[in-house]
Structure 1
């Protein structure tokens, strides 16, 4: 995402730390997920949070959690059995408040998440708690060929006027974390991220079970 103008403004106004709008899955910096602007010669902190809980659940046959659905076409990339990091979007602010005040995270990439799990386990948990059977809709084999084909058909991901821009972003992220297995704490360490979960052990995060039970209980009220 282009952030040239904001970085120039930061230089002029003397902001002490620039936090680019990433908040995304961990991914190799080049070659696939290119929505990462240059921060220039600025004090910065990059914060990545995995994939969001709120973008992960499929609809139920009863439609009782449709009110909480993201609107994304939820399908399973790959075989659904690759471990990946997920975060409840309400946990992000708790981490950000600590990260931006911490001198250890200055000029660093920081990785935080709520839970490490698989798509298959998420579906199984939703079925167990809801007592409903969910059909599995797969978008790609474990080779990722179908995802790559979809990505290539979407055109230039830097063109925000492209109506397929959101689809390309999502499918690139899916390919990165489900096919390449990049959205993990081990891969984050390999890329040089600071482990935010280890820095802030006192922060209590939500689990997927918490989240599922919450949206089901709210609908039943």
Structure 2
């Protein structure tokens, strides 16, 4: 096991939006973290990988799907913390990674999550995440599970000038009066940087969030910032969502509808509910954290800065 003062962190899925947010936040704390990123050989020449090199990140050639458990163990030698930011569709690859981490005496694993909180049975995608969590616990692998609430950029409606009708961007779900916890994407990395170095969060679930708001509040702010009226966008009730899900939509539509039903109609994604399910409140752990307000986020989303 490593015996150094800095935490050596290996990140899987570093080039995605969530992963890159984490890399950039960790890179601001060179006194605390040494960063490694597992990157496919085919992605080595991407601009974002060069950006990581410029930030002092060590690029480790590898592929979560293509590497064996044994080859992953070798790459995890002397690593303290493993973070997976890939999409958690398949259990097998994550399980392989975490078993390799256990054999390599990694001190903490963070599985792919970084999304809204929900109880078992609320949606299939969340149940996949919960299954991975249970695998980690049953195999006695030290962990931290990080929930980040709803990403603010996905709560705001698309401008009328945007071509195409996104399943989320031009649709309003439910009454609009249900609270949901939210986090700005660029702040996910900041939360992760705090959480993974905190001994209080070992073997805990942490609810990270900037604040809570209703969809009605979010869209009102969107109208204020853009000057647009979004009343012409599609309004979907709980019955509309249930009907669509019964019809067997494609994976992405089903995923988005289940998420919206859980967070914006059932009201699962609140800090109160997350804490009742055993999560630690990140805003209590870190009272000095300065959250991004929704109007500030809206200006970023719509390029009004």
TM range (shorter): 0.7 to 0.9
1:146 alignment partner in structure 2: 240
Of the two, which has the highest radius of gyration?
2
* Structure 2 counterpart of 1:19, from 88, 91, 110: 110
1:150 CA displacement: 2.5
Check whether the contact 1:55–1:70 (CA below 8 A) recurs between aligned residues.
no
1:34 alignment partner in structure 2: 127
Deviations, residues 142-172 of structure 1 (Å, cap 9, x unaligned): xx232233234337xxxxxxxx222222211
2:234 alignment partner in structure 1: 137
* Change beyond 3 A, Cα 1:30–1:217: closer
Runs of 5+ unmatched residues, structure 2: 1-87
1:181 alignment partner in structure 2: 267
Check whether the contact 2:122–2:262 (CA below 8 A) recurs between aligned residues.
no
Q: Structure 1-normalised TM-score? A: 0.84
Aligned residues: 204
Check whether the contact 2:168–2:256 (CA below 8 A) recurs between aligned residues.
no
Distance (whole Å) between structure 1 residues aligned to residue 113 and residue 165 of structure 2: 19
Check whether the contact 1:81–1:119 (CA below 8 A) recurs between aligned residues.
yes
Deviations, residues 92-133 of structure 1 (Å, cap 9, x unaligned): 111101111111111111001112101111111111122121
1:72 CA displacement: 4.7
Which structure carries more strand by proportion?
2
Q: Structure 2-normalised TM-score? A: 0.62
Runs of 5+ unmatched residues, structure 1: 156-163
Check whether the contact 2:145–2:206 (CA below 8 A) recurs between aligned residues.
yes
